[in-house]
Amino acid sequence: MQKAADKKPADKQPAAETLVGENKKARFHYEILERYEAGLVLQGTEVKSLRRGQISLDESFARFDGDELWLLGATIPEYSHGNLQNHDPKRKRKCLLHARELRKLKAKSQIKGLTIVPLRVYFSGRGFAKVTLGVGKGRKLHDKREHLKSKEARKEMRQQ
């Protein structure tokens, strides 16, 4: 027979994700084919800046260096109360994925026309910094116009 202290509440749900930043331009410039969730290797002051919601994913992308995936171009501003150990805002950050996912992603990145772009950065329910990476195919100008037209049509249909 279990003691009352050993029982876990059945209605307890995991904590929700906390969105830090989103790359809205990526969805406009690229047609996202696949999505992957990766962990980020961060320094202490970077985590504090992220908790304040400070990140810019514009012009950022991911690239392989050997067998490791790195996030480049993402800007996390220096922490305002940091000291000499403050981080470099534009430094490259390592993305953590399973080996099987890294192999798949590397094969996709070597196909001409496909790019790995970060879509959003968030804190998981357990408090880990995560990035959602998308494998995207660049849109041409006429594709961007079609995308905007379909977006407007969906918006009008919702309003009616």
Q: In which band, very low, low, confident or very high, does the pLDDT at 139 lie, cut at 50, 70 and 90? A: confident
In this prediction the pTM is: 0.76
Alpha carbon distance 117, 8 (integer Å): 40
Task: Write down how long the chain is.
Answer: 160
- What residues pair up with 137 in beta bridges, in sequence order? 31, 114
Domain ranges of the chain: 17-148
**Could you identify the residue written with the tokens 């919702």?**
158
The H or E element containing residue 28 is: helix 24-29
Q: Where are the alpha helices (DSSP H) in 30-132?
A: 44-51, 99-109
Alpha carbon distance 57, 87 (integer Å): 17
Q: In which band, very low, low, confident or very high, does the pLDDT at 130 lie, cut at 50, 70 and 90? A: very high
pLDDT tens sequence across 36-74: 999 999 888 888 888 888 888 888 889 999 889 999 998
* CATH level 3 topology of 17-148: Small Protein B; Chain: A; (2.40.280)
pLDDT at 2: 53
